[in-house]
Amino acid sequence: MNARRPEGDLMAMLRVDQEACVASGLCAAMHPALFRLTEEGRGEPVRGDLTDADDIESAEDVAACCPGAAVTVSDPD
Ligand code: SF4
């Protein structure tokens, strides 16, 4: 599977494991443009496809801090 497109290349996939999330709210507090909270207070990505390098760096920062280790930023390839 090749997820790359000629324009607006998909650079990374952002996911939150709802089972691992401990509902700290940290992700949405750190980067509300990338994360929001569900009604249960768990984090979820605003968008699953990240195409902006700054967004990817921000998401990786959150992944490193997430107390549930629930956030993953992965290469789409
Ligand atoms: S930072 Fe991690 S544990 Fe906290 S709400 Fe976000 S995904 Fe869940």
Q: pLDDT tens digits, the chain, 77 residues: what are they? A: 444 444 567 799 999 999 999 999 999 999 999 999 999 999 999 999 999 999 999 999 999 999 999 999 999 86
- Confidence at residue 50, expressed as pLDDT on a 0 to 100 scale: 96
Residue 70 belongs to domain with CATH number: 3.30.70.20
The pLDDT value recorded for residue 7 is 52
Total domains in the fold of the chain: 1
Does residue 52 sit within a domain?
Answer: yes
Q: Residue 58 domain-assigned? A: yes
Q: Is 12 in the pocket of ligand 1 (CB under 6 A)?
A: no
> Under a CB-based contact definition with an 8 Å cutoff, are residues 16 and 42 in contact?
yes
Residue nearest to atom 2 of ligand 1 (CA): 66
Which tokens belong to 13? 């996939």
| 68 pocket-lining for ligand 1 (C-beta < 6 Å) | yes
Ligand 1 centroid – CA 7 distance (Å): 32
Task: Identify whether 11 is part of a domain.
Answer: no
CB hemisphere CA count around 15 (13 angstroms): 9
Residue 2 lies inside a defined structural domain of this protein:
no
- Distance from the CA of 5 to the center of ligand 1, in angstroms? 30
Q: Which range marks the domain in which residue 48 is found? A: 20-74
